[in-house]
Amino acid sequence: MPELKVTADHLKRDAYLYVRQSTLRQVAEHGESTERQYGLRDRAVVAGWPVERVHVIDRDLGKSGSSTTARDGFQQLVSEVALGKAGIVMGLEVSRLARNSADWHRLIELCALTATLILDEDGIYDPASFNDRLLLGLKGTMSEAELHILKARMRGGQLNKARRGELEMCPPVGLVYRNDRTIGLDPDLQVQNAIRLVFDAFEQTGSAMQTVRFFREQGLLFPRRLRTGPNKGDLLWAAPHHARVLQVLHNPRYAGAFAYGRTRIRHRPDGGTSVVKVARADWQFVMPGMHQGYIDWERFEANQRRLADNARAFGGERRSGPAREGPALLQGRVVCGLCGERMGVRYSQEHGSTVPTYLCQANAVRRAGWTCQTVPGKIVDAGIADLMIELMTPMTLAVTLEVQRELETRAAETDAARRQHVERMRYEAELARRRYMKVDPDNRLVADSLEAEWNDKLRRHAHAAEDYKRRSKQQAAALSAEAQRRILDLAEQLPRIWQDPRVESRERKRIVRLLIDDVTLIKSQTITAHVRLSGGATRTLVLDRPLPIAQIRKFKPELVAEVDRLLDHHCDREVAEILNKHGWRTWEAKAFNLKKVAFIRCAYKLASRYERLRRRGMLTTREIATKFCVSETAVHTWGRQGLISKCYTDSLNRGLWEIPPGMTIRKGCGGRGARPAQLTASPRHHRNEVQYEALALSLGRRGRAGKIAVP
């Protein structure tokens, strides 16, 4: 008999009745089930428990029994059982206590340890008894299976409708359900233009982040529809974020396709759930062309390929990525010709400018080996730039016209979006005015609130109108006749525009990616670049390797020969001036100076002007004075008289003298009263010979002066 299981020890403790319904809707609409659960108190009273010692735990009404998460009532029940305060635990059925076998068996184990009975609508069970425990375990398993069956039944119906593409799911902003339960475009034109502008901006910029930047630079807003709360269904306008733009670009509903199974729900250890995105290949149902969309399926596919290519810049291999700001023209398109891996980019400074270098680090990163090869980017990029100009020249005119049409279309779209925003602000201001005019003036609490709302709407409308006017003027200036004329001149100016430093590197890269799939580089005696074009054609470029810095800094042989020739007749300073006059420059494009010429002499072991004059027999002042037995003052006097010429002078007025050939010196008479000899001519030679008498070289008693005879 079940009553025999209730002992005096059980009656000393309290009885606990657990009441639960899965949802609040069940609580509101299925009242009989709740009443039946509360009616179990009478079973406890009949078994011997006083009414005041029968505790009802109904804190979990409206909560699911599939887990103990957020079930405070069940946690309280388990605590009371574990403390030995419960003599009996009551529930209408096992499914009311728990629908999870782990939670149910944990409760059974605690009841067995504390000698606590379990009561349901069928009877009383002692968890310490094997037969009762076996029966309770079986009921718990059936309760869990029942939940699984219910879910499978609902899941089957859901999948059946999804298989036909008729499952109603909450559409994204910009799409709404019509009265015939088909999906169409939102009737709000501002919403439609905002969605279309996202796809157009992404097609123009090629990046979701650049699309966000375009919206923010243009001051455009993007809609969001509230899904919950008292204002459910209302539109909110705000500046878009990167995640929001990605949601729009990745959503196939905007392409008119029905897609099911894009996400899955995973249960966390804490009892919560998380939504996990599923790879596109694992989507359960994808049906293009099921309803009207903003783009076609081919354009959606192209967007997904571009987004996937951009996302590869953040993966482990970093094999590609969107066009960046750096000057490397082939960023994400270079393949190593030695190992076949993708090559990265490293930037460095050279003469104040940023230059790229393509390097393959796959072997170094993965296997701690050596870098395969490094290729100077300035050489490769220059060759690719010439190839781009060669490829684009035939289609320049078509590109020019397309650019003009694209600018006009883009300007019209942004202007329409701003104008619709101003119109929406005007409508909201007018609606706030009508609300204020309908209120009773004596009801100041409501009137003041509506008046403040009206003023706020008026300020927003004025700000939007002013912003629209300002941006319209800027846009009109940008599309002036002069700007259109410059666009039409693009056909003739394409090479100059490509080299223009004001053109962003990102734009050049986007052009390259349209025409080139990848470039394989091999560096040996020369740099070989195998270019694979988008259409499948290939081009091979053979480029010269850049000279080492030692070769670049080395002076040209013709320059050294010119310096060697000039040193025969000029000093270092004069040589530098002559080189600069003739347009010679150093490897740094700087003018020559005294130090540069001296460096060339020392580096190439060229004789200086002084050494060359010495080899030609030029004598110093002291050497002449010693040779002719005169003083150094006399030598300088001869130089002033023009008898001998000075060919070289340093900063201390020291130099070399040139003595005419055949010159002799004849002693004269010294003394204070001596008369200088007269100039005479010698009849011994066929031509006239003039004798020059040297002036007295000393005054007073300095000795005799000499005179030089010059034939």
Q: Which tokens hold the place of 570?
A: 């000029």
Q: What is residue 96's predicted lDDT score, i.e. its pLDDT?
A: 80
Residue 22 is among the residues annotated as catalytic for this protein: yes
Strand arrangement of the beta sheet that strand 538-544 belongs to = 334-336, 516-523, 526-533, 538-544
* Run of H or E residues at 190: helix 189-205
Q: Are 120 and 91 in contact (CB under 8 A)?
A: yes
Q: Are 118 and 42 in contact (CB under 8 A)?
A: no
Residue 289 has pLDDT above 60, yes or no: yes
CA-based angle 161:166:167, to the nearest 5?
65
Global pTM exceeds 0.75: no
Cβ partners under 8 Å of residue 64, min gap 6: 22, 23, 99
More confident position, 710 or 138: 138
Q: What is residue 478's predicted lDDT score, i.e. its pLDDT?
A: 55
CA-based angle 368:370:373, to the nearest 5?
140
Residue 552 has pLDDT above 80, yes or no: no
Q: Contacts for 507-513 with beta carbons within 8 Å, 24 or more apart? A: 508/329, 508/385, 509/323, 509/324, 509/329, 509/331, 510/206, 510/323, 511/388, 511/392, 512/329, 512/330, 512/333, 512/384, 512/388, 513/323, 513/333
Look at residues 149, 311, 316, 173 and name the one whose alpha carbon lies nearest to residue 238: 173
* Run of H or E residues at 409: helix 396-438
Name the DSSP letter for residue 358: E
Q: Could you report the per-residue pLDDT of 179-224, keeping only the tens digit for each?
A: 878 888 888 888 888 999 999 989 888 888 889 988 888 888 899 8
At which residue do the structure tokens 């750096």 appear? Answer: 326
* Run of H or E residues at 177: strand 175-177
**Adjacent-strand bridge partners of 356:** 347
Q: Could you report the per-residue pLDDT of 481-538, keeping only the tens digit for each?
A: 555 566 556 555 666 766 777 777 777 777 787 778 888 988 888 888 888 887 677 8
- The pLDDT confidence band at residue 271, using thresholds 50, 70 and 90, is low
Looking at 22, 66, 95, 505, which residue is catalytic?
22
Q: How many angstroms from the chain centroid is the CA of residue 578?
A: 52
CA-based angle 352:358:361, to the nearest 5?
125
The mean pLDDT of 414-428, rounded to a whole number, is: 80
Look at residues 530, 558, 552, 557 and name the one whose alpha carbon lies nearest to residue 542: 530
Q: What is residue 248's predicted lDDT score, i.e. its pLDDT?
A: 92
Q: What is residue 675's predicted lDDT score, i.e. its pLDDT?
A: 38
Distance (Å, rounded) from C-alpha 299 to C-alpha 427? Answer: 35
Q: Where are the alpha helices (DSSP H) in 4-71?
A: 8-12, 24-29, 31-38, 40-47
Average pLDDT, the chain: 79
Residue 683 has pLDDT above 50, yes or no: no
Q: Are 559 and 376 in contact (CB under 8 A)?
A: no
* Run of H or E residues at 532: strand 526-533
Residue 315 has pLDDT above 60, yes or no: no
Q: Are 100 and 68 in contact (CB under 8 A)?
A: yes
